[in-house]
Amino acid sequence: METGAIITIIVFALIFVSGLTFCFMQVGKGGKWED
Amino acid sequence: MGSAIGLGNVWRFPYLAYENGGGAFLVAWMVGLLVLGIPWLILEFGMGKMFQKGAPGAFAGINKRWEWLGWWPVWTAFLIVAYYTVVMAWAFRYVISSFSMQWGTGEAAAQSTGDFFYGTILNLSSGPTDIGGMQWLTLGMLAILWIGMFIIMFKGANVIGKVAIWTVAIPWTLLMVLLVRGLTLPGAVEGLNYYLNPDWSALATGKLWFAALSQIAFTLSVGMAGMYAYGSFLTRKSDVNNNAMITGFANNATSFLAGFAVFSTLGFLATSLSVAVPDVAASGLGLAFVTFPAAISMMPAANGFIGVLFFLTLIFLGIDSAFFLAHGGVIAPLNDKFGGKLWKWTAGVCTVGFLAGAIFCTNAGLYWLDIVDRAVSFYGLLITGALSCIVVGWFWKPEILRNELNATSDVKLGAWWDWLIKLVVPIGLVFVMIYGGFAEDIPNAYGDYQIGPFNGSHMLWIILIVGLILSFVLQSIRTKGEES
C-alpha cells in the first residue's frame, strides 16, 4: 500500500476514535425519547 | 444516528473521495462536518427541542409568518421517502435474486450486470413519458416495506427508537463482514490506494470543495424536516450539542469504513477483470446495482451469500432513514398541526407514500426518480437549508437558542456558532447549489428529458414550486391542534 494511503488511514482513524471517545465521555445528561 | 447513516454513506462518499484527491478530500469533508454539518444539525435538533414541535411548528414558534419554511422541507421529505423506499424494494429483489445468483457468475455475467438491472429489474423504457407497464414484483416489495414501516411507526417515537437500535447495529455488523471479505480479496490494496492516496493539489479546486460540502449537506439528513421532530422528542434536559456531534462523527466514521468495503471490492473486480480501478469505479445506483453485483459474480466462493449480505446491508441502512423521513419529516409535523390520532396519520402517509412510489415502479420509474431526486434532494434540501439558517440567523436571535442548548450541555457553543449559522452554512449551501446545480441546469436542460412542453430543468422548478405553494396553503390553515 502507498505511504500516503497508510498515513490517511492512521490520521483519520485517530480523529474518529478520539472524537467519538470525547463525545461519549460527555454523555450523561439525559437524551431519553418521549412521545 | 440511524437516520443520518444511510445509502449515501456507501454509494456516494467512497466514489467522491476517490474522484477528488483521496485523503485531501477527507480533510475538506471533515472541515465541512465541523463548520457546516454539525452547526446545522444543532440548529435543527435545537429548534425542535426548544419549541417541542416538528419543523413547521418550530418556525411558527419564531413567528407565524415563517411556518411555510417548515412545511417546504416536509414536501422534500415526502418525495424522498417515496422513491427511497423504491430503491429499497429493488434491493429486496436483489436479495431474492442473490439466492440463485440470477444474474450469473463468472466474467461474462460480471460484464452484463447492467442488462440485469436495466432489463430484468427495471425493464427500463425509452423516456419519462413512455411509462410502459408496472414492475409488479417491485410494487409488491414496496407494499411490504410500507406495511412494515406502518407497523413500526404507528405507535410513535418510542417504538422507532427501539427498532433503530437494531437497524443501526445490523447494517454496521454486515458492513464489517463485507469489509473483511473485501480486504481479503486479491487486488484489495490497489483499490484502497485509489480511495485514500492523497492528491493535495485537489484542495485548491472548487470541484473538491463542492464534493465535500455537498456530501456533508446530503449525508446528515438535515434539510428534510425530520431532525426538528426528532429534537422535539427529546426531554428538556437532553444534551443536543453532544448528540449532534456524536451523530456527525459516527456518520463520517461509517462513511470512512464503508469506503474500505467498497474500494477493496472494486480493487478485486478490477484485478479479476484485468482492468484499471477507474474503469470499474462508480457511485449511486450504478455502484449498488451494476458494479457490486459484477464483483459478487467474480468472487471465488459464496457469491450468493455475499449478495444477500450486501443487499440486506443496503435495506437496513435505508430503513431507518425511511422511518426518519416518513415519521419525523411528514407524520409528526402533520400530527402537530392538525392533532388527531397518530396511527391515522401514519396510515394516511404510508398509503399516499406507497401510491406516490408506484410511479417509480413503472418502466419509466428510473427517469422520474432521477428528476424528483434532483429537485428535492438537491435543490429542495439546499434552498430550504440556506433559508432556515438565514431566518434563524438574521430574523431571529440565534443566541436565544444557543443559551437554551448550552444550559444542558457540557460542550458550550460560543458566539462563533451564531456566525456559522448566519454566514458560513448558508454561503456553503448556496455555493453547492450554484456550482453543482444552477451552473449546469440553467444553461442545459437537466437530463435531456422532455415531458410535454417541459424539459428536465422545467420539471425541477415545477416540483419545487408545487411544494412552496402547498407550504403557504398549509400555513394559512388555522387548526385546533395549533392553538393548543
Q: Average the pLDDT over B242-271 and give the result.
A: 95
* Residue B237 in this model has a pLDDT that exceeds 90: no
* Residue A34 in this model has a pLDDT that exceeds 80: no
Report CA B292 to chain centroid distance, whole Å. Answer: 20
Q: What are the extents of the domains in chain B? A: 7-483
* Residue B271 in this model has a pLDDT that exceeds 70: yes
* Residue A11 in this model has a pLDDT that exceeds 50: yes
Which residues of A sit within 8 Å Cβ distance of B? Answer: 1-2, 4-5, 7-9, 11-12, 15-16, 19-20, 23-24, 26-27, 29-35
Q: Could you tell me which of B289, B299, B290 has the C-alpha nearest to residue B269?
A: B299
Look at residue B411 in the predicted model and tell me its pLDDT.
87
Q: Average the pLDDT over B74-80 and give the result.
A: 97
More confident residue, B247 or A30: B247
Look at residue B6 in the predicted model and tell me its pLDDT.
87
More confident residue, B410 or B23: B23
* Residue A35 in this model has a pLDDT that exceeds 70: no
How does DSSP assign B297-329, residue by residue?
HH-SS-HHHHHHHHHHHHHHHHHHHHHIIIIII
**CATH architecture for segment(s) B7-483:** Up-down Bundle (1.20)
Chain A residues whose beta carbon lies within 8 Å of the beta carbon of residue B320: none
* Residue B482 in this model has a pLDDT that exceeds 80: no
- Does B242 touch chain A if contact means CB atoms closer than 8 Å? yes
Per the CB < 8 Å rule, is A30 touching B239? yes
The dihedral sign for the CA sequence B350, B356, B358, B363: negative
Task: Point out the residue among A4, A15, A26 whose CB comes nearest to the CB of B411.
Answer: A26
Look at residue A30 in the predicted model and tell me its pLDDT.
47
The cell for B220 is 446528515
* Residue B481 in this model has a pLDDT that exceeds 70: no
Instruction: Please give the Cα distance from B262 to B271 (Å, whole number).
Output: 14
* Residue B4 in this model has a pLDDT that exceeds 90: no
What angle do the packed helices B136-153 and B157-183 form, to 10 degrees? 130
Task: Point out the residue among B26, B242, B253 whose CB comes nearest to the CB of A26.
Answer: B242
Provide the residue type at B353 as one letter.
G
Task: Point out the residue among B23, B193, B253 whose CB comes nearest to the CB of A16.
Answer: B253
The pLDDT tens digits of the residues spanning B398-449 come to: 999 999 999 988 889 999 999 999 999 999 999 999 999 999 999 999 998 9
Instruction: Please give the Cα distance from B387 to B318 (Å, whole number).
Output: 27
Chain B residues whose beta carbon lies within 8 Å of the beta carbon of residue A33: 157-158, 161, 233-234
User: Rg for chain A (alpha carbons), in Å?
Assistant: 16
Report CA B36 to chain centroid distance, whole Å. Answer: 17
Q: Could you tell me which of B156, B63, B46, B66 has the C-alpha nearest to residue B474?
A: B66
Closest Cα in chain A, distance from residue B161 (Å): 7
Q: Average the pLDDT over B223-227 and give the result.
A: 94
The pLDDT tens digits of the residues spanning B142-180 come to: 999 999 999 999 998 888 889 988 999 999 999 999 999
Taking every pair of Cα atoms in chain A, the longest distance, rounded to a whole number of angstroms, is: 51
Residue A5 pLDDT level (bands cut at 50, 70, 90)? very high
Per the CB < 8 Å rule, is A23 touching B252? no
Contact B33, B304 (CB under 8 A): no
Instruction: Please give the Cα distance from B19 to B287 (Å, whole number).
Output: 14
Task: Point out the residue among A8, A23, A29 whose CB comes nearest to the CB of B26.
Answer: A8
Chain A residues whose beta carbon lies within 8 Å of the beta carbon of residue B17: none
Task: Point out the residue among A4, A20, A30 whose CB comes nearest to the CB of B249.
Answer: A20
* Residue A31 in this model has a pLDDT that exceeds 50: no
Q: Average the pLDDT over B118-127 and give the result.
A: 96
Q: Could you tell me which of B118, B146, B133, B143 has the C-alpha nearest to residue B366?
A: B118
Look at residue B5 in the predicted model and tell me its pLDDT.
85
Candidate from A15-29, B191-205, B257-271, B357-371 with smallest mean pLDDT:
A15-29
Look at residue A29 in the predicted model and tell me its pLDDT.
53
Average pLDDT value for chain B? 94
The cell for B112 is 452484463
Residue to mutate among B238, B251, B409, with most A CBs inside 10 A, is B238
- Does B235 touch chain A if contact means CB atoms closer than 8 Å? yes
The region, left, alpha or beta by phi > 0 then psi within -120 to 50, assigned to residue B413 is: beta
Per the CB < 8 Å rule, is A31 touching B158? no
How does DSSP assign B171-223, residue by residue?
HHHHHHHHHHHHHTSTTHHHHHHHHH---GGGGGSHHHHHHHHHHHHHHS-TT
